[in-house]
Amino acid sequence: MKKIIGLLLILCACTSVSAQKEKPNVLIFYVDDLRAELGCYGSETAVTPNIDKLASEGVMFNKAYVQQAICAPSRMSTLTGLRPETLGIYSIFTPLRKVHKEVVSMPQLFNDNGYKTVSIGKVYHHGSDDKNQWTTYFEKEANSYHKPENIALMERLKSEGVKPLKGPAFEDADVADEAYKDGRAANYVIETLNKVKDDNFIMFVGLSKPHLPYNAPKKYWDLYDKNDFKIPSRQKPEGAYRLALPKWGELKSYHGIPTEGDLDDDLTRALIHGYHASISYVDAQVGKVMETLEKLDLRKNTMVIFMSDHGYKIGEYALWCKQSNLEIDVRVPLIVSRETSYKNRVTGKTSDALIENVDIFSTLVEYCGLEGPDSDGKSFLSVVDKPNKKWDEAAFSVYARGKKIMGCTVTDGNWRYTEWRDSVTNEILEAELYEHKNSLLAYVNLSGNKKHQKIEKKLKKLLEEQFPRNQPFLQNDQPRR
């Protein structure tokens, strides 16, 4: 009898473990300030073999968009499945939970459903948001410098009381990957994967580069010749709304960056070099994590997503950073690779479906078989399985200019239409229409052009359906609904 009871207990235990592992895992590379400057996206300069390999193992989306081209609101939108105008948060200064205690976030939902929830590096912009909902939490680390002259500079600036205390915009110290924070983040991921390998998990790997400062080990700088980088056109869009273009104060706050005028060619090339070195540094960390997934035999049950929180400018229009409704700022790279055990797994394909980062939440809810909260996004899991499937006809974003003016924008994948409105009255102050059939860049505002009035009318209707004129945008930190 004891033997029979023992066998039954073993059988039950095995059945329990088997049932647990039937749930899929999720690992998300959430990269900061990364535009689609990758080999797999056709870049002639970026050296990204590991990300390119991941693209060959899944579906690469050519037309993925964020809901706002700035860190905090964009990341909140991904992690809650709610758009910035629903949350009412448009700035980087307001944590999610300062305004919304009631919203069910992704870590909260997965935590409640028995998943190990892991946050490593920069996931939320504000580390305090949902900190208690992660079963494993490695907070975002500060930037660091390792060249003696930069260390001395930082000490001097600190002693002088300079605020904000920011050093040079780039550094190429001859150090190991772990000297900078993304190398350490990769180590934390590997350490954590070994601990949760027998559990169900959702893991966000928040890689900070290529966010400023472009600090990366020298070996990644050495992958490039600075002189090979072309200087982008400094031409600005003709007829753009007066507040459409950002002032790129983020870059200007770093030591050694002029606060007035355009950057000269030498500094422009140095910054572009640093941006690329940072991308290759991130690519190496992706490779380490993917290798660990394979070694631990986790890839067969783990979906891998590679994404960015918004696009970026590296000198185009004589501008830098993000913070606008421009195509180059709201379009992002997105790669989704299903678990290797999935019999209908699609690999090495691209999709032109219009996908929004706000859709990620609903997609993972469906993928993991959960019951999720109300969402502004919708699952695109079916598109991952059938990349050529007909999908949405538009993607939407916003960008506030202070508390009085809101820019709301729509794309159909070829054209971008933007209205700048009074945030309270919803009066249209000015409109923009740009063609993007063959380029991220556009140099002429075609709004009001008779030749293009049909497409403008169509996009205007789509925009007003998404942002009704009888629902004005309220002040920052006040939800629209």
DSSP 235-300: PPPBT--TTTS---HHHHTSBT--SSSPPPHHHHHHHHHHHHHHHHHHHHHHHHHHHHHHHTT-GG
Place of tokens 């002639």: 44
Count, residues in the chain: 481
Q: Please report the sign of the dihedral spanned by the C-alpha atoms of residue 385, residue 390, residue 391, residue 394.
A: positive
Number of other CB atoms surrounding residue 440 within 10 Å: 15
Ramachandran category for residue 475: left, alpha or beta (phi over 0 → left; psi -120 to 50 → alpha): beta
The residues annotated as belonging to the active site are 71, 125
Report which residue type is found at 404: K
Question: What stretch of H or E contains 400?
Answer: strand 395-401
Cα–Cα distances in Å, from 246 out to 33, 212, 272, 287, 316? Answer: 15, 16, 19, 34, 12
- What radius of gyration do the chain's Cα atoms show? 23
Q: Which two tokens stand for residue 43?
A: 């870049």
Strands 331-337 and 59-65: antiparallel
* Residues with Cβ within 8 Å of residue 345, at least 6 apart in sequence: 338, 339
Place of tokens 């169509």: 458
Q: Which two tokens stand for residue 454?
A: 């049909």
Q: Indicate the angle between helix axes 49-56 and 265-295, nearest 10 degrees.
A: 50
- Detail the DSSP E strand segments found in 143-187: 170-171
Q: Indicate the angle between helix axes 360-367 and 71-80, nearest 10 degrees.
A: 30
Question: What stretch of H or E contains 104?
Answer: none
Strands 136-138 and 116-121: parallel
| Distance, CA of 330 to CA of 337 (rounded, Å) | 22
| Distance, CA of 162 to CA of 41 (rounded, Å) | 40
Q: Which two tokens stand for residue 296?
A: 């631990």
Among the residues of 320-424, which ranges form H helices? Answer: 327-330, 360-367, 381-385
